[in-house]
Structure 1
């Protein structure tokens, strides 16, 4: 029985910043952003969106009535949670109208947790093949204005329905993983911006990829030439390219195939920025939409979360994979975004919701999303459809 990703949805806020504008404002050469880190645009989050609304909007793109009846496990992967106790999955369950007879929990380990959630969902479906699971990867990447990490910010959510006999991707049982206590990136409970040692984190990322990939090859007797595409967690799109270059073979045909598919896989990430938990899976979605994949194409996927945890696993593209996502809707979402100035971006970045228990009502009229955050009342976030 094949188990894997049956449907995929994606959402990012309706505001976006051109990286050329940011480069000029920071006194940098735009090539440092466009080529050096491989980013063209950055998603900007209005106060009416957070990880819950983004996850709900992504899932709403793909969930139908049959899904609502079959989904009884919701796994919400994020490192930008809105509550230290209540999971984002519980809010999403209500917003989407999913059955109350479900498990709804939040999963955390930096950017890796969506892969952990996906593997947990796969195991659940193996035991309950008539059911479905909803995996949500939703985050807001924040490093602070005028910081080295500023140019790798972003926001968005990827939603995945996991089932038996999936339309998009069958996930194999082959994987290798690694965990080490490394302080390359973290965010204290009291902070709204992450702490990161950029160069150290980039080196750890490549080290973890080398470790799990080498172990995978030895354990399962495969080589890079066995894959049609290699996918990577993309905190910025140049990062994955650095890792790919460490394994490109001498065979020019294979190297060209892997490189071309990588370019297709990072296309949408270039225009959104860092999704943390969702970065690998937006890259997967971008490859499916923009690449050229034959039936049964073999994919290798590297997931990484600072702190640190990594995993390499494989999956097989299914014959009708394009039926599992709405490319037109996603491209329309990206193309319809409103450009903001650097000043507007800085104001939105600084205008955070109150943390002192006070009430705040938000103007939702300008937000075109279906699900929005209307404010905070009695220390409770007010989510609604609109």
Structure 2
């Protein structure tokens, strides 16, 4: 287990957008019973980035809060590593925009070069990129005394309207201070890992021909055909043109399109999640010489990546079963709960057998023993997710913050206790690592204000949500919060400045 002499997380800060949509409003519009989403998935509210917020502003706001809370000199920060799958550019790291905002903010006090020697980079592996960034910075901080690094995770989880992922959407950022002898969490040096390539969730570069685009536009016009518009001639001009000032004249027959919304297979992703975290747990135990059967006794709580709040509750039943088997409690458990374990020999059809296994594991989650396990080890880490939705790379760290703040408000003594963290990223990879709560944890957690932040947001209606989703609003729904960064403009001229982003800061008065 980790000790106070190891590296770890000294403090957390979070930035949550000021806007949220009650899941009940979305359920009404989609004709979904609200009880199915609330009681089945744990969904209550969806955090939404405003029109002038993006991955960079949320990350910068989380880092700014972290630096102010800890009175950090920018010149001493050696790294700001960003975990995200919502990058703003295909080449220029979003972390450079974060650094730009922070440099402008601190320049008067520390000079324009205050972050000149700070290393920044984006790390992307779906929802686990932030954990990769953390592991990297932990090793860097451990290599030399007095190194100070910041890991920040920032994402907007966006799905197509009407899709099965829509009600899990969310947005926000979590930043963490990484250094030796941390006040909050000492992190194990050796992470368990499991990686297996999968197409459970991804955001491909879509290849679309110019002819398809022209045809689709022409089809929208009444009583006209492609022949009326001489489609072949139009396509030939677009392909062979030498100028590149327009959208279609790129000298290629095809355009590459990127969408923020993913291609995904929900059931397959759940299977990958379940398999990878189990495999990563096995690897973690192997690396540390640990045996199965100790999750409930050795760890005060478990933190998870949560695509929806109750994901861990629904996905952990197989590991729970293996824990009971390891402690020789399995037979008595199935007898007490009158459960019939499926046997493969009883089924000629493998699919039917797998269906019965799934039904059996669901039955396990309905037992009193499992519910007690949920209350003691899983629920402390999923309450915040119910009120914000999926934060992608930031989700697992929000779960950690939720555990610590729940312990703080319940006067639980967590000092010296171990937490176990289960991270997952589609594609697919899982990592498992341990964290030991330090003696000074309570003073640090007092500054989280997670519940306070959640309670001080603005509710929006469905129509406003749809406008935000369609990106049809130019200005914020709410005023810029004092002391925060915001997106000022994005250059749209078809020249060498196309796509350049500029940011502002709402200082003493609301902008």
Q: TM-score range by the shorter chain?
A: over 0.9
Contact 2:12 2:448 in 1 (8 A): no
C-alpha deviation, 1:127, in angstroms: 1.3
CA–CA distance in structure 2, aligned partners of residues 365 and 300 of structure 1:
38
CA distance in 2, matches of 1:376, 1:364: 18
Q: Within 2, Cα distance between the matches of 1:325 and 1:93?
A: 26
Following superposition, the deviation at residue 338 of structure 1 comes to 0.8
Report deviation, 1:185.
0.2
Contact 2:194 2:277 in 1 (8 A): no
For residues 106-185 of structure 1, the aligned pairs below 5 Å read 106-185=122-201
CA contact (8 A) 1:300 1:314 kept: yes
| Matched position secondary structure for 2:187 | strand
With the length of structure 1 as denominator, give the TM-score of the two structures.
Answer: 0.92
Matched, 1:236 2:308: yes
Q: Secondary structure at the match of 2:501?
A: strand
Are positions 1:288 and 2:404 aligned together?
yes
CA 1:102–1:328 in structure 2 vs 1: closer, same or farther (change >3 Å)?
Answer: closer
Residue matched to 1:66:
72
Q: How far apart, CA to CA, are the structure 1 residues paired with 2:285 and 2:448?
A: 37
Query: Distance between the aligned counterparts of 1:96 and 1:52, measured in 2?
Result: 11
Q: Whose strand fraction is larger, Structure 1's or Structure 2's?
A: 1
Aligned residue among 377, 383, 386 for 2:503: 383
**Distance in structure 1 (CA, Å) of the matches to 2:139 and 2:177:** 14
Change beyond 3 A, Cα 1:186–1:274: same
The match for 1:272 is: 388
Please say if residues 241 and 262 of structure 1, whose CA atoms lie closer than 8 Å, have aligned partners that are also in contact.
yes
The alpha carbon displacement at 1:188 in A equals: 1.8
Contact residue 54 and residue 157 of structure 1 kept, 8 A: yes
Aligned to 2:339: none
Residues 97-116 of structure 1 deviation map (CA, whole Å, 9 limit, x = unaligned): 35211111110100011110
Counterpart in 1 of 2:99? 93
Cα deviation code 1:138-193 (max 9, x no counterpart): 00001111111101110000000100111110001232101111000001241121
Pick one of 202, 210, 218 that aligns with 1:186: 202
Contact 2:419 2:435 in 1 (8 A): yes
Aligned partners of 2:487 and 2:501 also within 8 Å: yes
1:247 counterpart = 2:253 = no
Would you say the 8 A contact 2:404–2:445 is kept in 1?
no
Is contact 1:14-1:367 (8 Å) kept? no
Q: Does 1:77 align with 2:83?
A: yes
Q: Which residue is 2:423 aligned to?
A: 303
Q: Equivalents in 2 of 1:185, 1:59: separation in Å?
A: 28
376 and 84 in structure 1: CA distance in 2 versus 1, 3 angstrom threshold: same
Judging changes above 3 Å, is the alpha-carbon distance between structure 1 residues 325 and 383 closer, same or farther for their aligned structure 2 residues? farther
Of 102, 115, 118, which residue of structure 2 is paired with 1:102?
118
Residue 367 of structure 1: aligned partner? 480
For these two proteins, the number of residue pairs brought into alignment is: 379
Distance 1:26 1:12 in 2: 25
How far apart are the structure 2 equivalents of 1:32 and 1:325? 33
The equivalent residue for 1:57 is: 61
8 Å Cα contact 1:261-1:287 kept in structure 2: no
How far residue 294 of structure 1 moved from its aligned partner, in angstroms, is: 2.0
1:351 aligns with 2:420: no
Per the TM alignment, residue 264 of structure 1 is displaced from its structure 2 partner at its CA by 1.8
Structure ID, larger Rg: 2
Structure 1 distance, partners of 2:8, 2:371, is 27
**Secondary structure of 2:159's match?**
coil
List alignment gaps of at least 5 residues for structure 1: 354-360
3-state DSSP class of the match of 1:199?
Answer: helix
Task: Provide the rounded CA distance (Å) in 1 between the counterparts of 2:270 and 2:117.
Answer: 42
In the other structure, the counterpart of 1:321 is 441
Q: CA RMSD in A?
A: 2.1
In structure 2, the residue matched to 1:214 is 282
Q: Deviations over 1:183-229 (max 9, x none)?
A: 00001241121111001101110111111112333442243132111
SS state of the match for residue 189, structure 2? strand
CA separation in 1, counterparts of 2:472 and 2:268? 29
In structure 2, what is the equivalent of residue 356 of structure 1?
none
Unaligned runs of 5+ in 2: 104-113, 206-257, 330-367, 492-496, 507-511
The whole-number CA distance in structure 1 between the counterparts of 2:283 and 2:26 is 41
Q: Are the aligned partners of 1:157 and 1:275 in contact in 2 as well (CA < 8 Å)?
A: yes
Decide whether the 8 Å contact of 1:229 with 1:257 is kept in 2.
Answer: no
CA distance in 1, matches of 2:27, 2:370: 36
